[in-house]
Amino acid sequence: MERLKGIVPALMTPFKKEGTADYEFLKEHLDFLIEAEVDSLYILGTAAEVFLMDLEERKKVAKTVVEHTAGRIPIFMHVGDLRMDQAAEMIDFAKNIDIAGLGAVTPFYYHFSQQQMIDYYQQLAELAAPELNLYLYNLPSYTTNDLLPDSVAELSQTKNIIGIKNSMADLERLYTLIDQSQDDFDIIMGNDLLAYPAFLYGAKAVVSGHSNVFPEIFVKLYQALEAGDLKTARKMQQATTVIGRVLKGGSNLAYYKKAMEFRGFKPAYSREPIGSLTDNQVKKLKSDLKQIEKKYL
């Protein structure tokens, strides 16, 4: 089965101004990312505004992605949800389209114990088996629940749980996860600012929201590391750090949509309550993006 590797954009969902998904934009964006030589895609995650979409919308986006990419790159799909029945429905759906593997964020909003989170992931893995593998996904700054290394180690013994996407800005946690893991359990970095050290220490992939906008820079970073060109890789990490700051670390997804206009795409929007940028924010963003393009592309 396929595994996450290299540069993996966490695909955003483009919406029209009235709030419906823009599938023509989505298809153009998919071609843009594939032409930039990204390694695979992670869909219906945080950057996709997934929890602002109902299940039928999520399914239609996933089906559109799978059909348009037509096997050109592997597609991994997020299925985590606070409601187990909805997660189960998305897993069942994934089994009937060409999905390479699944990811699931920890339960969120309410406080969950380590044992409750372990139980949650074991249930998801059982639902996914035997057709699909599952990646854990830890994002405690958003979910309020931190899946600790000992819990990850326990879950790694489940046959079809094959890795974790860890999105913490914490190198010590990253190193701990890599050091304690067997070779067949993959550690995936979900924080763009740590791509360079993560790859050097042994992370298998970087799942990146910011690479929706500048995939070329992220791909060049990874390819430079693969070639042993640390000087170029470090320069590209500097670029990704700047991009992260300009795009506000993905905390306001309206920045992604407006930045894509700078890259030559038609306007796209985020759903309420995310909303749009102010005129001053747009002006500053365009100025910053121009500097990135001039210096790094």
Which residue numbers are catalytic?
Answer: 137, 165
Q: Compute the Cα dihedral for 139, 143, 149, 152 and give only its sign.
A: negative
User: Of 93, 44, 101, nearest to 74 (Cα)?
Assistant: 101
Q: Give the Cα separation of 25 and 15 in Å (integer).
A: 9
Q: Where are the alpha helices (DSSP H) in the chain?
A: 23-35, 55-69, 84-94, 114-128, 140-143, 149-155, 171-180, 195-201, 215-226, 230-246, 254-262, 279-296
Backbone angles phi and psi of 42, in degrees to 5: -115, 110
Q: Give the Cα separation of 170 and 194 in Å (integer).
A: 9
Does 207 carry a binding-site annotation?
A: yes
Known binding-site residues equal 207
Binding-site residues for pyruvate, in ranges, read: 207
